[in-house]
Amino acid sequence: MKFYQRLAYYLVGFVIGLFFVAMVLSGKDTRCNYFPNARVLNDIRNKPFIYDTEASRRLTEDWVDTADVKNTLTYGDVDFDKSNIPTDGGKLYIVYGKTKKDKEITLEIINYTEKAVLRNIIKRTTKE
């Protein structure tokens, strides 16, 4: 068998394989959360999210709203030096983010196995 025939068989098989992989993966909601920051934030977002009384009080103020919290849970940064601390049957996570007005905020979230509780929202004046 000549080289161009082997190349043609290889390319036909490769295209058929790509077709089947595309069919299998197109119907699924697949995410590539390989880094710890993305995995923690995805875990928190996929659980029922509850606002504690202190966090609810902060949300009534003008400088932060629920859209800022959701944006921080999507694009924020988890401080692992201060996080993953056992607290009240869950683990405390500190997440840094920004509001729509470009003010820096810190979220204190307790991540339980069945839910996530936003404990506090802190306005940061400088980088921590």
Q: What is the pLDDT of residue 77?
A: 95
Would you place residue 126 in the very low, low, confident or very high pLDDT band (cuts 50, 70, 90)?
A: low
Spatial CB neighbours of 40, under 8 Å, sequence gap ≥ 6: 78, 83, 93, 111
Task: Give the residue, 91 or 24, on which the prediction is more confident.
Answer: 91
pLDDT of residue 21: 86
Percent of the chain with pLDDT over 90: 71
Look over the chain and give the mean of its residue pLDDT values, rounded to a whole number: 90
Ramachandran sector of residue 25 (left: φ over 0; alpha: ψ -120 to 50; beta: rest): alpha
Whole-number Å distance between alpha carbons of 32 and 39: 9
Does the pLDDT at position 88 exceed 70? yes
pTM of this structure: 0.73
Identify the pLDDT of residue 28: 66
Distance, CA of 30 to CA of 94 (rounded, Å): 26
Alpha-carbon distance of 75 to 96, in angstroms, equals 9
